[in-house]
Chain A
């Protein structure tokens, strides 16, 4: 892995191009104020890990970035387009933003290959043969080309999550959102998914990742965001974040998750 890291580090360049900008964003669920005054800038090629205790609003935050959740105040700009209730903008942004879910959310009635070609064919209007070539290439990349004709229900959790990543990549997205991608997996399958994500980071993908995998944060993230109670409490480079946490809540959180 170290070899890979060494050659990857060069490619893990952050450009100046702004991919996501969030200004003074607030969100409520009924009376409950879930996200409070969120400000965040993400540049192309950045790998950001979002962590925090459960219920801190971290999943809600990244789900706001492709409008799976609606925000009520403030602005979210993704790749130069503002997220409003305008369906055109939402569809445009969703085409460029891939998302990987905790429970994979593969389509059980379609084969692995059909899962991967569906969006390119129906959203990008790609010819079927071309979409299949693209899908096979990405399945190769996540190391499961031989499963292309199986149904998701016949695969292990780790394989399913890799299919889900390949499915998102088939749309050739500019940004990838990961919502706790390894939380539903058995320990021996976490690594195979993380390896795919690490490789993706080395290829220069802009990534936002909600995860408790602190090892992943240390190896690939260039920024770690800590959330609690719907607010961003702390934001720092991983080195600083883990060795020298500023706030008391961050210290407490880190001592709890790193203790075991």
Chain B
């Protein structure tokens, strides 16, 4: 007799075992807690210590930031009289300057409009399934010219000198320009560094190594002071433009190295397959090699962009009034002395939001471009 003593009754044909549900406790919140927070004595201790630490830190922080904070006040003394926490009243008073620097108040709408257009221009680049994407990408291409016109004026608008630019607006100008121009430049440098043509390879390698070997501050100093010695006398060359060029080439050199890493990770077989089909160099780079290399390089590229965005604060050293510069200037106001914490926390929050968004977008992009196993 089969199926008796030790074998349980078998109700299926061999080879056709049905899929069963996993036993209870293998899924759900309880499992997650047990696995991640309380899996061993050491982890239990760590979890408890962390909870205690959060208990110590978070309530006072919330109190300082929100509950005890003063959002409207006329001076520091007024602030202190109203509450113990942060004196956001100061930031509130200076918000215009933090955002626009010394841009003429009656012309600030131009900056706001530029920012709005920036969002519209960036959207089709980042969002692949956007309706009418092609048309919108066309707008993205003309945006740099439109924005330059709006910000600088001329042709019917009152012209504004770049030394009146400042605050977050300046950070955005430096960051966005640097990012937009350093990516294509970095890609070209990376390709050039791998070129079969000796002259191009040496030129690109030399450029990359020189720029990477010099601190950004040095380049900014060169931009602000020494460039006048190299240029023919009498040429006026806008300081902001010089800074933009320096920031762009600085980050392009880093992008180039990140992209080179990506290019090297593309298997030789991909080049060979593209060659064997009769694709020309630029077509095979654009269609086959770069899409794969850039995908691999996304974390490194975004890392460089974040670095560039934060490094834009260095321009304060050569006298441009980025948020740090504005902050420092406003702290010397006798009515508002001693509020450095508020100023720097505020600036930190701005930078964190921008950089964190870039980081999340890069993760989204990586997931979207994941097409199964690599070959």
CA distance A103 to B295 in the complex (A): 22
Within 8 A of A (CB), among B321-375: 369, 371-375
CA distance A98 to B287 in the complex (A): 19
Q: Which of B276, B277, B279, B375 contacts A103 (CB 8 A)?
A: B375
State which size class the interface on A falls in: 20 to 34
Q: Is the CB of A153 within 8 A of B374?
A: yes
Produce 1/0 per residue, B266-298, CB < 8 A to A. 010110110111111001000110011001000
Residue of A at shortest CB range from B280? Answer: A91
Q: Is the CB of A94 within 8 A of B275?
A: yes
Q: Is the CB of B374 within 8 A of A108?
A: yes
Which residues on the B side are within 8 Å of A226 (C-beta)?
Answer: none
On whether A119 and B279 interact (CB within 8 A), knowing A105-B269, A153-B374, the answer reads yes
Which residues on the B side are within 8 Å of A118 (C-beta)?
Answer: 277, 279, 287-288
On whether A106 and B276 interact (CB within 8 A), knowing A101-B269, A122-B287, the answer reads no
CA distance A78 to B288 in the complex (A): 26
Q: Is the CB of A104 within 8 A of B277?
A: no
Q: Is the CB of A119 within 8 A of B375?
A: no
State which size class the interface on B falls in: 20 to 34
Distance in Å: Cβ of A185 to nearest Cβ of chain B: 14
CA distance A152 to B267 in the complex (A): 15
CA distance A106 to B267 in the complex (A): 11
CA distance A107 to B293 in the complex (A): 12
Q: Which of B270, B272, B279 contacts A68 (CB 8 A)?
A: B272
Distance in Å: Cβ of B134 to nearest Cβ of chain A: 15
Residue of A at shortest CB range from B369? Answer: A109
CA distance A94 to B271 in the complex (A): 14
A123 within 8 A of B: yes
Which residues on the B side are within 8 Å of A168 (C-beta)?
Answer: 277
Distance in Å: Cβ of B188 to nearest Cβ of chain A: 21
Chain B CB within 10 Å — which of A66, A106, A122, A154 has the most? A122
Task: Kindly list the 4 A-B residue pairs having the minimum CB-CB distance in the complex, ordered from nearest.
Answer: A153-B372, A94-B278, A105-B273, A105-B269
- Other CB < 8 Å A-B pairs besides A105-B273, A108-B373, A109-B291, 12 of them? A68-B272, A94-B277, A99-B276, A107-B270, A109-B369, A118-B279, A118-B287, A119-B277, A122-B279, A123-B278, A153-B374, A171-B278
Q: Can you list 9 A-B pairs, Cβ within 8 angstroms, ordered by A?
A: A66-B276, A99-B273, A103-B269, A105-B267, A106-B375, A109-B292, A109-B369, A123-B278, A153-B375
